[in-house]
Amino acid sequence: MEDDCRPLLSSGQTGDSYSHRSSTDSLDFKAKRPFHVEPRIIVGDDPQERISAEAAILNSRVHYYSKLTGSSDRLLSPPNHVIPQPEEIYIYSPLGTAFKVGGSEQVSKNPSIVTIFAIWNTMMGTSILSIPWGIKQAGFTLGILILIFIGLLMLYCCYIVLKSRNAIPLVDTSDWEFPDVCRYYFGKVGQWLSLFFSMVSLIGAMVVYWVLMSNFLYNTGQFIYSYAHHINMSDSEFGTNGSDKVICPYPNTEPGRNESISRNYFSNVGNETSETFEHWWSKTNTIPLYLIILLLPLLCFRSASFFARFTFLGTISVIYLIVMVTIKAVQLGFHLEFHWFDTTELYVPEFRVYFPQLTGVLTLAFFIHNCIITLMRSNKNQDKNVRDLSVAYILVGLTYLYVGVLIFAAFPSPPLSKDCIEPNFLDNFPSSDVMVFVARTLLLFQMITVYPLLGYLVRVQTMGQIFGNHYPSFFHILALNVIIVAAGVLTAKFYPNIGSIIRFSGATCGLALVFIFPALVHMISLKQQGALRWPSALIHSFLILLGLVNLIAQFLM
């Protein structure tokens, strides 16, 4: 069955082999011979069996070369110029018909609105949960300004990535990705560095997912246990009262501190059953280990196509979060006081020195640079790519602003301090909150399906580069997955702070894939064209400096 899924013409034939037309060593009789199809059994769009005159001529030429290749002489194999293009390949059916398969340029062409929301859906990840905390760390006013500035900056760097392959002369770059562009300009060093930083972003996301899945599974279990045993959360001095309860999991928060430590508030703390449940249902000690049983086998699946069918859960989860945030803001009301530079007991200043923590989070929140070329390639209106990319970034920025501003503004001060806002703002709501329980459940199922997809991307890129095979063997894949899972388990146990994980991984991968490589590629291409001027060189050198400062600042907070 696996052989039946292989294309009739290998990718090497349509790519690299065209650059070696004069080399007889590159000819492979079995790989280059097209499948022979009689013209009378071709089925086109017309219900009747029809075939164009051009296709008939092509078929006759293939007939001719098939006659010549009766001998074992490989020099008589069909030359490249008679090999059908991808859009001219036919798949033969045992029923006696053949179906024409469109080429890559004809398949999956989406209108602009679909492309825009595909970008929006791809960027809407776990970072949205940390935006309110990031705004709190930077200060309300400065946080909004930074979010707008970083969004525009990331949009410009993404625009450079999107246009980078078009500036390469005399080379067909239609199927290139940004690592291929880096390899063209910087050789193997650029290729491996781009791969390394891409792995940082992917594995960093997988670690964040493991921490969040542990969190969501823990709180989901707490909700079910409390409901089954009629356990009510007691009124805590660190939480608000009433039906719209908000809690401060770590009340002794110092300015700039970003650790997240959970506490349980059960009315029957001394109950032996409750103590046993808490022992075996611990957010940091047991839940991360339970996830291994479920997720490690899923990571070892040879194909991730099954999980790709559930990507719609991401859109549903984000829409539900937006609705839930709106309802919570209406119920809680706004609690704002503007203190520009001084911290008060309940409010943070509008400008804080911890703003680099927000810039690190936003670097990952707006990060889509390593796959933007792939997403935009399927856009039906290629001349509208820049417009559609800009609209998508504006929608993403507005979504982050909406969630971040509403959660920060609605956080009840008094009685709680704004410094209580957690890196995962869902932790500021108790496990017994039904709306938050639904949000956590949706996000949990979404992450269970997305996590294997991320692992598949890591596998494809690492194994493809090292071994030239995406699935060299089961034991190779198992060893890689064990390392990835171990990183998630250890982080969830000893440092379950998604805010810091996001900002460090975002600043690290952003340094290379957002600032350094795009800026250098842009300057080199302009220099080769003789169009590089000192203002452009100064601005793009400043971009590289910003990326470096952003990374260094994460270690100083």
Tokens representing residue 240 in the block: 């608000």
Q: Which of 206, 145, 201 is nearest to 504 (CA)?
A: 201
Sign, CA torsion 100/382/180/122: negative
pLDDT of residue 34: 44
CB 416 within 8 A of CB 174: no
Q: Is 50 exceeded by the pLDDT of residue 20?
A: no
Lowest mean pLDDT among 50-64, 152-166, 388-402, 526-540: 50-64
pLDDT of residue 82: 58
Q: Is 80 exceeded by the pLDDT of residue 49?
A: no
User: Is pLDDT larger for residue 459 or for residue 100?
Assistant: 459
Confidence bin at 204 (pLDDT 50/70/90): confident
Q: Which of 145-154, 244-253, 446-455 has the highest average model confidence (pLDDT)?
A: 145-154
pLDDT of residue 88: 54
Checking 351-354 for CB contacts under 8 A at 24+ apart, the result is: 351/138, 351/139, 351/141, 351/142, 352/137, 352/138, 352/139, 352/142, 352/255, 352/256, 353/256, 354/137, 354/138, 354/255, 354/256, 354/557
CA distance 56 to 63: 10
Confidence bin at 238 (pLDDT 50/70/90): low
Q: Which of 85-89, 161-165, 249-253, 343-347 has the highest average model confidence (pLDDT)?
A: 161-165
Percent of the chain with pLDDT over 70: 72
397 CB neighbour count, 10 Å cutoff? 21
Per-residue pLDDT averaged across 391-413, rounded?
93
Count how many residues are written for the chain: 557
Q: Is 80 exceeded by the pLDDT of residue 65?
A: no
pLDDT one-digit tens code per residue, 212-233: 999 899 988 888 888 777 776 5
Q: Which of 80-94, 267-281, 373-387, 411-425 has the highest average model confidence (pLDDT)?
A: 411-425
Tokens representing residue 230 in the block: 């009629």
Tokens representing residue 330 in the block: 């209406």
What distance lies between CA 385 and its chain's CA centroid? 20
Tokens representing residue 176 in the block: 């290139």
Name the pairing type of β-strands 89-92 and 98-101.
Answer: antiparallel
Domain parsing of the chain, residue ranges: 53-100, 112-249+288-556
User: Is pLDDT larger for residue 273 or for residue 164?
Assistant: 164
pLDDT of residue 55: 59
How high does pLDDT run on average in the chain?
77
User: Is pLDDT larger for residue 23 or for residue 415?
Assistant: 415
At residue 267, the 3 state secondary structure works out as coil
Count of CA atoms in the C-beta half-sphere (13 A) of 521: 32
pLDDT of residue 168: 84
Q: Is 80 exceeded by the pLDDT of residue 447?
A: yes
Q: Is 80 exceeded by the pLDDT of residue 401?
A: yes
Q: Is 80 exceeded by the pLDDT of residue 285?
A: yes
Peptide bond into 414 cis (omega under 30): yes
pLDDT of residue 94: 40
CA distance 511 to 517: 8
Lowest mean pLDDT among 52-61, 174-183, 258-267, 534-543: 258-267
User: Is pLDDT larger for residue 540 or for residue 64?
Assistant: 540
Domain 112-249+288-556: give its CATH architecture: Up-down Bundle (1.20)
CA angle 38, 40, 43 (to 5 degrees): 100
Lowest mean pLDDT among 184-198, 415-429, 496-510: 184-198
Per-residue pLDDT averaged across 248-253, rounded?
67
CB 501 within 8 A of CB 509: no
Tokens representing residue 223 in the block: 């909700």
370 class by beta-carbon count within 10 Å (0-12 exposed, 13-18 middle, 19+ buried): buried
pLDDT of residue 264: 41
- In this structure, which amino acid lies at residue 8? L
What distance lies between CA 118 and its chain's CA centroid? 11
pLDDT of residue 396: 93
User: Is pLDDT larger for residue 238 or for residue 508?
Assistant: 508
Confidence bin at 45 (pLDDT 50/70/90): very low
Per-residue pLDDT averaged across 510-533, rounded?
89
pLDDT one-digit tens code per residue, 313-327: 778 888 999 999 999
Per-residue pLDDT averaged across 390-397, rounded?
93
CA distance 367 to 371: 9
CA distance 417 to 419: 5
Per-residue pLDDT averaged across 290-310, rounded?
80
Q: Is 70 exceeded by the pLDDT of residue 61?
A: no
Tokens representing residue 251 in the block: 């009340």
CA distance 489 to 493: 6
Lowest mean pLDDT among 10-24, 279-293, 364-378, 476-490: 10-24
CA distance 307 to 226: 32
Tokens representing residue 347 in the block: 């409010």
pLDDT one-digit tens code per residue, 451-481: 888 888 788 778 877 777 777 888 888 999 9
Lowest mean pLDDT among 42-51, 121-130, 246-255: 42-51
pTM score of the predicted model: 0.73
pLDDT of residue 313: 74
H-only helix segments in 93-244: 112-123, 131-138, 140-164, 178-228
pLDDT of residue 77: 60
- In this structure, which amino acid lies at residue 483? I
User: Is pLDDT larger for residue 477 or for residue 272?
Assistant: 477
Q: What element of type H or E holds 32?
A: helix 29-32
Radius of gyration over every alpha carbon of the chain, rounded to an integer in angstroms: 28
User: Is pLDDT larger for residue 51 or for residue 462?
Assistant: 462
Tokens representing residue 216 in the block: 């969501």
Lowest mean pLDDT among 116-125, 305-314, 466-475: 305-314
pLDDT of residue 47: 41
pLDDT of residue 227: 79
Q: Is 70 exceeded by the pLDDT of residue 44?
A: no
Q: Which of 149, 201, 523, 256 is nearest to 371 (CA)?
A: 201
